[in-house]
């Protein structure tokens, strides 16, 4: 699954802690339902895509790599208050031969020999070629000496965050716009779609597209909360509820 949210996703939130909390809820929902990619598309009203992207990426990064990829800065001062994702790539210090971990190349010798930080006290010799500061997924070959090789995880490993234009997103055949004005989808339709596009707390996707001079004709528009009991559904609630429905539809006969 993939989702797309606007750069104005936090437009109603002025309190810094609430802004972090809301972004953290979106990250947790994406991790729970195995979202592979989160797109942030521009809304002319407000562009906070850099902040949203940084917080989402911070949460997806294993704790032991954050010191390299996210130096101490004022913009992330409340990130430590957010609940951890606890996805399979966030490993504890207990090390097992054959397990897959995330690492970062922190030293490369003149002959190309590389060492990676994989969250242990000692650096691991990396059997492969990678440049310094490259993030790598590795398998533990031995513990003494600590040696790792390139690996490809079979389990859910986390999401990546990208900026994207709304025009490119709505042109995809597997894209769906979520809206209270949409129709209720059938489960077999939901199994064929892979990208959910959400609007902002202030405006729907159609309104944002209109400001950008885009037409959304031909794009499926679904109401994921029929007969809702509240006047509005918050963005983080919409993400959680919509992903839950999409996940269920993949398993129901």
Q: Specify the CATH number for the domain of residue 124.
A: 2.40.50.140
Do 78 and 191 sit in the same domain of this protein?
A: yes
- pLDDT score at 73: 74
Domain count along the chain: 2
pLDDT tens, residue by residue, 226-250: 999 999 999 999 999 999 999 999 9
Query: Is 128 a member of any domain?
Result: yes
pLDDT tens, residue by residue, 87-104: 999 998 899 999 999 999
Do 38 and 127 sit in the same domain of this protein?
A: no
- At residue 175 the predicted structure's pLDDT band, cuts being 50, 70 and 90, is very high
Query: Is 95 a member of any domain?
Result: no
Do 10 and 134 sit in the same domain of this protein?
A: no
Do 12 and 109 sit in the same domain of this protein?
A: no
- At residue 210 the predicted structure's pLDDT band, cuts being 50, 70 and 90, is very high
List the beta bridge partners of residue 196: 3, 176
pTM: 0.94
pLDDT tens, residue by residue, 29-86: 999 999 999 999 999 999 999 999 999 999 999 999 999 999 877 778 898 889 899 9
List the beta bridge partners of residue 149: 127, 139
Domain stops at, among 119, 134, 150: 150
- Give CB contacts under 8 A, 24+ apart, made by 174-177: 175/219, 175/220, 176/219, 176/220, 176/221, 176/222, 177/204, 177/205, 177/206, 177/216, 177/219, 177/220, 177/221, 177/222
pLDDT tens, residue by residue, 116-160: 999 999 999 999 999 999 999 999 999 999 999 999 999 999 999
Query: Is 93 a member of any domain?
Result: no
Element counts in the chain: helices (H) and strands (E): 7, 11
Q: Which residue has the higher pLDDT, 74 or 15?
A: 15
| pLDDT of 253 strictly over 80 | no
- pLDDT score at 99: 96
Query: Is 216 a member of any domain?
Result: yes
Residue numbers of the domain that contains 142: 100-150
For every residue of 129-183, DSSP letters joined together read: ---TT-EEEEEEEETTTTEEEE---SS----EEEE--HHHHHTSTTEEEEEEEEE
- pLDDT score at 31: 98
Return the structure tokens found at 93. Answer: 């210090």
């Amino acid at each position: 699954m993939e989702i797309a949210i606007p750069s104005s996703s936090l437009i109603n939130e002025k309190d810094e802690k609430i802004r972090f909390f809301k972004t953290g809820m979106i990250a947790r929902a994406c991790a729970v339902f195995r979202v592979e990619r989160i797109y942030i598309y521009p809304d002319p009203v407000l562009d906070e895509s850099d902040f949203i992207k940084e917080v989402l990426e911070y949460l997806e990064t294993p704790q032991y790599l954050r010191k390299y990829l996210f130096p101490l800065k004022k913009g992330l001062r409340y990130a430590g208050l957010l609940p951890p994702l606890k996805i399979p790539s966030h490993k504890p210090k207990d090390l097992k031969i054959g397990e897959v971990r995330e690492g970062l190349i922190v030293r490369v010798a003149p002959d190309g020999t590389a060492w990676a930080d994989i969250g242990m006290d000692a650096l691991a010799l990396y059997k492969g070629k990678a440049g310094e500061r490259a993030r790598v997924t590795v398998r533990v070959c031995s513990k003494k000496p600590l040696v790792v090789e390139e690996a490809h995880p079979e389990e859910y490993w986390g999401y990546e965050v990208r900026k994207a234009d709304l025009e490119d997103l709505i042109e995809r055949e597997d894209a769906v716009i979520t809206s209270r004005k949409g129709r209720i989808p059938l489960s077999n339709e939901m199994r064929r779609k892979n990208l959910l596009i959400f609007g902002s707390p202030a405006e729907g996707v159609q309104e944002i597209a209109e400001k950008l001079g885009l037409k959304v004709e031909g794009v499926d528009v679904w109401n994921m909360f029929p007969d809702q009991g509240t006047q509005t559904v918050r963005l983080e609630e919409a993400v959680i509820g919509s992903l839950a429905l999409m996940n269920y539809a993949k398993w129901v006969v």
